[in-house]
Chain A
Amino acid sequence: MNLGPLIFLAAFFALSASWFGLVLKPQMQIGRLTQTNVLGGAVAYPVARPGLAQQGLEVYRAYGCAQCHSKNINQSGTALEVLLTDPGTNRPGLMAALKQVKPGFADAEADALLASLPAKLATFEKRDAADAAIKTIGSSSAKAQLNLVPYGPDIARGWGKRRSVAEDYLFDRSVLLGSQRIGPDLSNVGLRQPDMNWHLRHLYAPRSEVKGSTMAPHPFLFEKRKLGRAASPEALKLTGDYAPPAGYEIVPRPDAVALAAYLTSLRADAPLFSVPMSAPAAAQNATNAPAAAGATNAAAQ
């Protein structure tokens, strides 16, 4: 029984099927992805990172940072929060509506609730229920608003505001999502820690900034220099055990500066069509790009 040609054809067919499905088709879909708009604004997203941060991505790749850090936020779901924004003038009507929306609502709680507007009334899983609640509140002269709030362990940890989507990586050369979290997720590290000097000190001696950190120090990204007439402006301000011996200073090499610039540029929190969320006003200028350039002395190099 000579099945040779048949097996060859079978393997060929199977492999091309998988190739079309997982290489060609996604490439046709994702490869055509273009800039999009931030939800509710005319701001383009994402914006390419500035040059120094792009160099930093190369450093990130070269040192294998993605072996320990992911850049991929998960989200368990989106909660629909109904907020009371305006109590209106019909107090008895509002109270009746509130009792309907929040079963067990007592009149005594009303003053506390109305004192701090907008106040969260209830959280829903389904859009219909949330819409019905808003309609009930609106039947008095009060006004309610719907807030979309992504939730999940990653978001609760403060690693991100929403899940990561394909758009977040549009302009990155070498998309390094990482597969393991030996260190925290870095999708939004620029949002959490916008200070470049913090990142430089953390790269030099992680434990000087994060107590009990298990991250390896990267002293080779820095230069230990004899102090000249005056301290260099870009020298790290280290204290305690981590300070260099007297007469020396620790100065970041260009790689370290670029890496810190890249890290501060990591920020993917814009509300998009594919990940709708009600963002506070600050998110309007989320760019996935760093804060103002030259904000730190190290960037001046």
Chain B
Amino acid sequence: MSQTVTKSAPAAEPSRPVAVDGPNESFRFPLLALFIGAAVWLVLSSVLSLIASIKFHGPGFLADFAWLTYGRVRPASTTALVYGFCIPAGMGVMIWILGRLGQVRLALPLLVVGGAASWNLGVAMGVYGILNGDSSGFQGLEIPGYAAATLFMGYSLLGIAALITFHRRVQRNLFVSHWFFIAAIFWFPWIFSTAALLLLGAPVRGVAQALIAWWYSANLHLVWMSLVGLGTAFYLIAKFTGRELQSRYLGLFAFWLILLVVSWTGVPKAAPVPAWLPALSTVTGVMLVLLPITVMVMVYQTLDGKCSLLWESLSTRFVRVGVMCFVLASVMWVLRYAPRVSGMVEFTWFQSAEAQLRLSGFFSMIVFGAIYYILPQIAGAGSRGGVLARVHFWLALGGILLAVLPLAIGGFVEGSKLQNPNIAFVDVMKLTLRFLRLSTIGELLILAGNLLLLLNLMGLTVSFYRTKAAVALRGALEETVPVGVRA
């Protein structure tokens, strides 16, 4: 019932020219700082990922440099993607939506700028550390301990600004996106501090380390990213179609599903730990299948079956692809725990494909959509960067398809061959090379798309501030010119 209240007011927003001193202005510099920093890391991550991928064309590629060895480039690339792009860009989008839904200015913009600076410094230290050999080695948390503290501080500043903005809201109603975002804002510091303390600070003994790494990784990739990504998707879909989200109860169900069920998955089925742990993760991992179903029903009902509505604007086009990738990635996650299939896909490229689909397909696409929606509102009307953005969309879509599909299929082939001990391991690896080399093309397209995003962001920012400076200069000149001359 309350959904309509906000939905009706800002529905006309995208087309409205931005008032220079409107509430949006408070968001401008902090969000541009977050987004541009994120885009720089995004490009760097795809460059590193491309290097890692080319290594499968010839193992001798760049092999003479210790810092460019596959075991360092690969984690540096995912760290740049997850910590450099996904988290700060996600925070920026959340801060914006919290402000819009509450119809308030950004609280403490300086805190966000400081948070972005601290966070980006932490990511730089982390990526440098990994390339330099200080990686912790734990998948999902490869950053060295010294980067973790800076990251935590940066996140705290961003989180506090987001929460205060939320607290000061004028529009007091809570929407589905609110629940998702508030839970996500609290969720990350808890899992991150636990993992950083127990893995990097004072490491626990034995295989408990691996358990904590799995728990952290699943909570970051499945819980935090689902909360942020889906919350953003729900907001954008409702906003662009002008329809109420259907329904609040399904949203509540998805929310509880993520919090209570998905947070328990992550331990691989054949992990060398007490058997109750993989069993628990298997049950929750299979129950996760309810989540994509719920999301599909929600989107379908909200659109009243007219899914083509999402094709009409560029932002929702990104969202549409993002939601589809979310459904696919979730199904792939369930397959990891499905009987028979799980033994086959474990330790293969299939899992990399799932992770990439979740990061580049689901989360990044939805955040791209949100960024392209937010940009014109904070950097002036007419700054859609139309062509660049449209080309970015197609490059990203093609890149994801070409990067993920070969890996997923190759993973299945690899897994089924590995089950047969009569096929030599080296021969199985040679078989997967074909798929890996195909996915290099996808990596290349993704890199090109990400470059366009960065160019777009930089171009907009420069042109916006240049215009602003020109206006200010003209104003200043007019004031100093003697009155007689002006007449």
Interface residues of A (CB under 8 A from B): 1-4, 7-8, 10-12, 14-15, 17-19, 21-23, 26-27, 29-31, 33, 60-68, 70, 72, 74, 76, 153, 156-157, 163-166, 168-184, 206, 210-221
Contacts and interface: CB of A to CB of B under 8 A. Distances in A.
B63 interface: yes
B186 A8 contact: yes
Contact of B70 (A68, A176, A212): A68
Contact of B137 (A11, A61, A68): A61
Nearest to A74: B270
8 contacts: A14-B259, A15-B190, A30-B208, A30-B211, A74-B270, A157-B425, A174-B138, A214-B56
A10 B268 CA distance: 27
Given A64-B74, A174-B138, 15 more contacts: A4-B174, A10-B256, A11-B259, A22-B266, A26-B274, A27-B204, A27-B212, A60-B137, A65-B71, A157-B425, A170-B205, A170-B206, A181-B347, A218-B69, A219-B64
B419 interface: yes
Given A7-B174, A23-B215, A74 B182 contact: no
Interface stretch (B35-43, B348-356, B392-400): B348-356
A208 to B, nearest CB: 13
B480 interface: no
Nearest to A157: B421
Closest 5 CB pairs of A and B: A64-B71, A156-B421, A14-B259, A62-B133, A18-B263
A174 B209 contact: yes
Contacts of A64: 69-72, 74-75, 130, 135, 137, 142
A202 to B, nearest CB: 13
Contacts of B420: 153
Contacts of A210: 426
Interface residues on B, range: 35 or more
Interface in B447-475: none
A184 B271 contact: no
Nearest to A210: B426
A185 B56 CA distance: 19
B136 interface: yes
Interface in B219-275: 219, 256, 259-260, 263-264, 266-268, 270-274
A22 B430 contact: no
A210 B59 CA distance: 14
A229 B64 CA distance: 28
A22 B198 CA distance: 13
B380 interface: no
B64 A3 contact: no
B124 interface: no
Given A7-B179, A22-B211, A163-B272, A181 B418 contact: yes
A172 B205 CA distance: 8
A8 to B, nearest CB: 7
A7 B267 contact: no
Contacts of B210: 169, 175-177
Contacts of A76: 343
Contact of A11 (B173, B187, B418, B427): B187
Nearest to B183: A11
B391 interface: no
A26 B205 CA distance: 11
Contacts of B16: none
Given A12-B186, A18-B264, A63-B71, A165 B430 contact: no
Contacts of B135: 61-62, 64
A212 B266 contact: no
Nearest to B133: A62
B277 A26 contact: yes
A175 B137 CA distance: 9
A30 B348 contact: no
Nearest to B76: A64
A72 B264 contact: no
B293 interface: no
B57 to A, nearest CB: 11
Contacts of B56: 214
B64 A31 contact: no
Given A30-B206, A214-B426, A216-B63, A22 B351 contact: no
Nearest to A14: B259
A180 B207 contact: no
A153 B266 contact: no
B207 A179 contact: no
Contacts of A218: 63, 69
Contacts of A173: 203
B60 interface: yes
A180 B52 CA distance: 15
